[in-house]
Amino acid sequence: MTAIAVTDSSEPGLLTRAHWAVTDTLTITRRNLLVWLRVPAYIMFTVIQPVMFVLLFRYVFGGAIRVPDKGGYVNFLMPGIIAQTAAFATFGTAIALAQELQKGVIDRLRSMPMARSAVLAGRLVADTGRMLITTLIVIGVGYAVGFRFENGIVAAVAMVVLATVFGLAVCCISAYTGLAIGDEESVQAFGMVWLFPITFLSSAFVPIQSMPGWLQAFARNQPVTYVIDAMRALAGGGPVWPSLWKSIVWLAGILIVFAPLAVRAYKRAS
Amino acid sequence: MAHSQSGGPAILVEGLVKSFGEVRALRGIDLSVPRGTVLGVLGPNGAGKTTAVRILTTLLRPDGGRALVEGRDVVREAAAVRRSIGLAGQSAAIQLELTGRENLEIIGRLYHLSWPRARSRAIELLRQFELTDAADRAAKNFSGGMQRRLDLAASLVGQPKVLFLDEPTTGLDPRSRLAMWDTIRSLVAGGTTLLLTTQYMDEADELADQIVVIDHGEVIAAGTAEELKGRVGGDIVEFTVPDRARVGDAVAAIATIGEGEPHADAETGVVSVGVGGQGSDALIEVVRGLDKADVQTHGLTLRRPSLDDVFLALTGHAAEEEEADQPAGRRGRRKAKSKAADKETARTAS
């Protein structure tokens, strides 16, 4: 009896724990954003690279690629670039977690009386926030080179929200790979192996009709294409629902599978 | 359990078992560390030291046995254990991009200190660890010794009752090691219970009240440094053969002297032999034997056994021999190790 009483008195209540979970997540988020701002190379990779892609595709490949979209190739391109940017931003998620694992940072945090969820949650919040900032910068650059939202402000906001949710879902996959593989270089190599094909073998940069038949079969039926098609419809007009509901199902599925996997990998990390 | 919280040991481990697949990392370890004392856990790489620390700091679940820290079970009462411990691992677990101050403030916030309290605690610790001047520089610009000090400071933010230091001086240069020892000594003077793992004999000798020697996941000896040295059974005669080709001749020349086989390190040319209580008589015999065999030596000493000798006597191999199959990155450690041994020889010789 004594033992139970002692344990109870020192265990914080549910409300206190919920409060800590939120403040701990915010502390980790703040830390991650600070690190991002301190390292020019990170900013370079996350902001300059997508801007470079916009300019490269717009001016180098743009002339050769024919699209039926209103506003021409730049309107076709921007949703693709934004989705690709969101997906590539999660390289950072996987690498940062693998580094923290290797350096023992995660061991230290797990040995502390902080909320168990905060390290992952803070990572996802910071990386999604970073992604959102990058998306807005890329849209700004797009506007400078001729991109226009043709479908009103609400649909434009919906497009940014969809891109962010997509980024969050990919973030969960990357977080899981980062923690499960746990070695910075392997994580980076593995990221290349799945992030490049999944973004380039989609409707991101070229109309799928221009690909060979066997490739079309893949490109047409994978989630990145659904998300980009939905974003394109939201930005430029056209039927939204056919691709949007498939996107929502896919993204929900990814979150349901990979968020728990990432949490489990964090708890078991060694 | 109520009694163990008030009067029991700070750390109590009984029959702890842990396997990773086929590898049996811990094969039933028992430990008991009284409050306010220092336990040195000594053993080569792969002996199971880190596994034990990871279980005690709630990072890993044991397969069998139990472990209590401050009377709390590390599995069933992990949250309570986490509130009373601090951990510093083998590498500096700090955010290199952030300043020393920011690192400590963030840890303070994660211990649920208020902002003002987290700030003042960071300032206190920076002062205590002589990092005040570097407080606002990014930790990546710190020297290795400073990074480890910052890491140690981070483990103390929550004012732990029990501190776990897993190889705190591994990879540090000799000067930083000595500075780290001073820091650790002053921490212990403040009443913190400390469990320290190390593969350096001199480190355990310097810092620990009690020592356990672990090899292949088992405790093979326990006691104070003096008690363990007593196991070797007397004094040691040691010398260095500058011509490595003649190490074998030297061993042959003194084979009949002393107790047990002489031990020779072909790499450094250091030969040692236990001579029990024969003392200076054995020393004279060794000199005669070497003279007769015409083997040149230097640094001939008669000394008390070190923990190196204890490890050799207990396991039949030197502490660092198992490192041969470690990755190249570990080699620096080995050098530091033999340097430390040289220093010890020099000290005893003078």
This complex has an ipTM of 0.85
Q: Which pLDDT does position B335 carry in this prediction?
A: 37
Residue whose entry in the numeric block shows the structure tokens 């002692």? A6
Q: Does one domain contain both B26 and B93? A: yes
Which B positions 70-109 lie with beta carbon below 8 A of chain A? 77, 79-80, 82-83, 85, 87-95, 97-98, 102, 106-107, 109
Q: Of B194, B228, B262, which one is at a domain's C-terminal end?
A: B228
Largest Cα–Cα distance in chain A? 79
Looking at the structure, tell me whether residues B148 and B92 fall in a common domain.
Answer: yes
pLDDT in tens, B275-303: 877 777 888 888 888 888 888 888 888 88
Answer whether B106 sits within 8 Å of A27, measured CB to CB: yes
Mean pLDDT rounded to a whole number for chain A = 89
Find chain A residues with C-beta within 8 A of B98's C-beta. 31, 34-35, 38
Same domain, residue pair B205 and B313: no
CATH of the domain at B81: 3.40.50.300
pLDDT value of position B85: 96
For chain A, report the end-to-end CA distance as a whole number of angstroms. Answer: 36
Paired strand residues for B314:
none
| Chosen domain end from B188, B212, B228 | B228
Q: Pick from B185, B202, B228: which residue ends a domain?
A: B228
Taking CB atoms and an 8 Å limit, are B58 and A110 in contact across chains?
A: yes
- State whether B250 and B200 are in the same domain: no
Q: B113 and B253: one domain?
A: no
Whether B40 and B148 map to the same domain: the answer is yes
Q: Locate the domains of chain A by residue range.
A: 2-268
Residues B159 and B281 in one domain: no
Chain A partners within 8 Å of B58 (Cβ) = 110-111
**Is residue A173 over pLDDT 80?**
yes
Shortest Cα distance, chain B CAs vs residue A254, angstroms: 28
**B326 band by pLDDT with thresholds 50, 70 and 90:** very low
In one-letter notation, the amino acid at residue B284 is: I
**Cβ A107–B54 below 8 Å, yes or no?**
yes
Indicate which of A108, A119, A270 best probes the interface with B, i.e. most B CBs within 10 Å of its own CB. Answer: A108
Of B54, B89, B97, the CB nearest to A39: B97
Angle between helices A73-103 and A223-236 (to 10 degrees): 130
Predicted confidence at residue B6, as pLDDT, reads 54
Do B52 and B194 belong together in one domain? yes
- Interchain proximity B109–A20, CB inside 8 Å: no
Given an 8 Å threshold on Cβ–Cβ distance, is A23 in contact with B112?
A: yes
Q: Does A109 touch chain B (CB under 8 A)?
A: yes
- Are B223 and B272 in a shared domain? no
Mark yes or no for CB contact B1/A2 under 8 Å. Answer: yes
Chain-chain contact of B112 with A113 (C-beta, under 8 angstroms):
yes
- Residues 6 or more apart in contact with residue A189 via CB below 8 angstroms: none
Q: What tokens does B279 get? A: 């003392």
Q: What pLDDT is recorded for position A270?
A: 58
Distance from CA of B74 to the nearest CA of A (A): 11
pTM value? 0.81
Query: Which of B47, B45, B69, B46 has its CA nearest to residue B57?
Result: B69
- When divided into structural domains, chain B yields a total of 2
B91 in the same domain as B52: yes
Q: Are B211 and B253 part of one and the same domain?
A: no
Count of positions (residues) in chain A: 270
Could you list the residue range(s) of the whole structural domain that residue B255 is in?
Answer: 232-349
CB contact under 8 A, A2 and B85: no
Sign of CA pseudo-dihedral A83, A86, A89, A95: negative
Contacts across the A-B interface (CB distance below 8 Å): 87
Between the alpha carbon of residue A87 and those of residues A114, A134, A179, A198, A228, the distances in Å are 30, 12, 18, 9, 12
Q: Is the pLDDT of residue B62 over 90?
A: yes
B154 and B81 in one domain?
A: yes
Mean pLDDT for B346-350 is 38
Do residues A138 and A57 lie in contact, with contact meaning Cβ atoms separated by under 8 Å? Answer: no
